[in-house]
Amino acid sequence: MEILVCVKRVPDSAENEIEMNAEGNDIERDDLVFSVNEWDNYAVEEAIQIVDKVGGSVTVVTVGDDESDEVLRREMAMGAAKGILLNDDAFEGSDAKGVATILKGCVAKGNYDLVLTGAQADEGGAAVGGMLAAMLDYPYASLVNKVELGEGKLTVSREIEGGNQEMNSIDLPCVLSIQTGINEPRYVGIRGIRQVSGVEIPELSAADLGVDAATVGEAGVKAKKVDYFVPESGDGAEMLEGSDSEIIAKLIEILKANGGLQ
């Protein structure tokens, strides 16, 4: 099976303290460390496990700049056979739809039976996989936490509310967005990355992919991020006071307001 896994280089949520910049309109980006999006890592592991079972190869692709090379190599150290970097000035500032458009160009240049993405990335949009599938007219399943191989199709389990699993049969080729916990991604050390440091990674531009530059990048963005801000919360906790029933009434309001009660 030929599998394409779409990955993204993101600020590492575990290793960054997100702070606002001096102007107060963006986060401080100077000291950020980046790594591969956690969900994508599970997707690559899943792809490798599938290929280990039935043969074929795993290709990892990312839309990014020269620095994105590092996440491709990391995933290649895990066991992906090939990396592709989609890099063009025109791609800069793309939203989910733009990224899906670029990836569509990449899928068209290969012969993939299965396309995997992570369920979501740093911005929490969880959109690229579904958009890519719609553009390709491939069937799609999101939040996949189990994949079983069948003849010309897969049985996939989606992680839905209440810890339930929604079992589906899905025809190949298809796009799946992979949820964390589907597997236990293998560890990649510095040694593994060094071993693939010499492998050539092809770079494809908008022209190579046959992508219209006007549909991607900032030009194609319909949902524009204006600025960043820190949600208001004072120093220390706001202490709820009053009688028990008053406190409980306030607390229930707070629980509702924060999505804690459904």
Partner 1 sequence: MEHLISPAHSMILGFIPGWLISFLYVIVGVGLFAYIIAKRLAPLVKAAPDNSRFSTIPARLLNVLIVWLGQIKQPRYMFAGVLHIMIFFGFMTLALRTCSLVVIGMFPDFALPGFGADQPIGAVYTVVKDYAATIVFLACFVAAIRRGVFRPARYAVPEKYGHDHTSEAVFVCCIIMGLMLTESLFEAVLVAAGHDAFLAPLTLAWGLSKLFASAPHGLLQFLHVVAYYAHDTLFFFFLCFLPLGKHFHVITSLFNVLFMRVQRGNIKPVVYGITAEGLDDLTSFGVKKIEDFTWKHMLDFYTCADCGRCSDQCPANLVGRPLSPRFITIKARDLMFKNYPLKGDMLKSQPLVGSIYTADEIWSCTTCGACEQECPLGIEYIDKIVDLRRGLVDEGEVPQSLQKPMKALGKRGNPWGKVEKKRADWAKDKEFAAECSVKIMENGDSADSLYFVDSITSYDDRMINIAKCTSKILDAAHEDFFILGKQEKDSGNEVVRFGEEMLFQQLKDQNITAINESGAKKIIASDPHAYNALKNDYPELELPVEHISEVIVRKIKDGTIKLKSVQDSTKIYTYHDPCYLGRHNGIYDDPRDAMAAIPGLQMVEMKKNRDRSLCCSGGGLMLFYEPHEEERMAVLRVQMAHEAGANVIVCACPFCMVNMEDAIKVAGLDDQLEAIELTELIEQHMER
Partner 2 sequence: MAQVFAYLVHNDGVLDDSAMELVVAAKAVGDDVTAIVTGSGIDAVADAAAQIFPKVIKVDDAALAYPNAEVVRKALVTIIPKGSVVLFANNTFAMDCAPGLSIKMDAAYVSDIIGLEADGTTLKTIRQEFGGEVNTHVDVDAADGAVVTLRPGTFAPDESKAAGGSVEAAAAGDMSAKRTFIEIVEPEAGDVDITKADLLVSIGRGIEEEDNIEIAHELAKAMGAGAEVSCSRPIVDAKWLEPSRQVGTSGCTVKPKVYMACGISGSFQHMGGIKGGFVIAINKNENAPIFQVANVGIVADILEFIPELTEALGDL
Please, which residue, 200 or 227, has the CB nearer to partner 2? 227
Cα gap 133→112, rounded to integer Å? 13
Q: Which parts of 212-241 interact with partner 2 (CB under 8 A)?
A: 222-231, 233, 236-240
Residue 205 makes contact with partner 1 by CB under 8 A: no
Tokens of 86: 């989609």
Residue 53 Ramachandran class (φ > 0 left, ψ -120 to 50 alpha, else beta): alpha
Binder of partner 1 out of 12, 70, 92, 203 (CB under 8 A): 12
Binder of partner 1 out of 14, 22, 226, 257 (CB under 8 A): 14
Q: Which parts of 33-72 interact with partner 1 (CB under 8 A)?
A: 33, 35
Q: How many residues at the interface with partner 2, by CB under 8 A?
A: 81
198 binds, among partner 1, partner 2, none (CB under 5 to 8 A by kind): none
Residue 164 and residue 171 in contact, taking contact as beta carbons nearer than 8 Å: no
35 binds, among partner 2, partner 1, none (CB under 5 to 8 A by kind): partner 1
Among the listed residues 215, 10, 26, 14, the one whose alpha carbon sits nearest the alpha carbon of residue 120: 10
Residue 206 and residue 63 in contact, taking contact as beta carbons nearer than 8 Å: no
Residue 147 makes contact with partner 2 by CB under 8 A: no
Q: Residue 37: what residue type?
A: N
Residue 182 makes contact with partner 2 by CB under 8 A: no
Residue 78 makes contact with partner 1 by CB under 8 A: yes
Residue 20 and residue 28 in contact, taking contact as beta carbons nearer than 8 Å: yes
Residue 188 makes contact with partner 1 by CB under 8 A: yes
Residue 143 makes contact with partner 2 by CB under 8 A: yes
**Shortest Å distance, C-beta 239 to partner 2:** 5
Mask for 119-158, x = binds partner 1 (CB under 8 A) = ----------------------------------------
- Main-chain dihedrals φ then ψ at residue 227, nearest 5 degrees: -160, 175
The beta-carbon contacts of 22-29 under 8 Å, at least 24 apart in sequence, are: 24/229, 25/227, 25/228, 25/229, 26/227, 26/228, 27/228
- Residues in contact with partner 1 by the rule CB under 8 A: 12, 14-17, 31, 33, 35, 78, 184-192, 194
